[in-house]
Amino acid sequence: MTKDLIDQTDYRIEQRMQEMFRTNPNFKNLDSENRELILNLIKKYKDKMRQGIKPSAYTIREDMYHLYYNRLKLKLTYNDLDQIRDLLASFKA
């Protein structure tokens, strides 16, 4: 998913993410708001990657901190956070 992200349009990325949410058992339990949140993070990383800037471990940690801090409001479980962290870590330089 993350290897050819730079060359894809936003529409195609959204299609692939929706397919992943439907087929990957790790992400089936996320509600639509949380799926949209993940999609927005991926789009943010994609925009930076198009400029030649890969997200650093610090950036991913910072995003994960905000997710962890708001986990109750977002209704995220620890398992969800682990899966999101793994997905975001695949973007690291």
Mean pLDDT for 46-55 is 82
pLDDT the model gives residue 93: 57
Mean pLDDT for 33-37 is 86
Percent of the chain exceeding pLDDT 90 equals: 15
The whole-angstrom separation of Cα 79 and Cα 90 is 17
Do residues 38 and 67 touch, judged by C-beta distance below 8 A?
no
Which of left, alpha, beta for 44 (phi over 0: left; psi -120 to 50: alpha)? alpha
Percent of the chain exceeding pLDDT 70 equals: 92
Backbone angles phi, psi at 15, to 5 degrees: -60, -45
Q: CB-based burial of residue 37 (10 Å sphere; 0-12 exposed, 13-18 middle, 19+ buried)?
A: middle
- The more confidently predicted of residues 92 and 54 is 54
Full-model pTM: 0.77
Contacts of 11 (CB under 8 A, 6+ apart): none
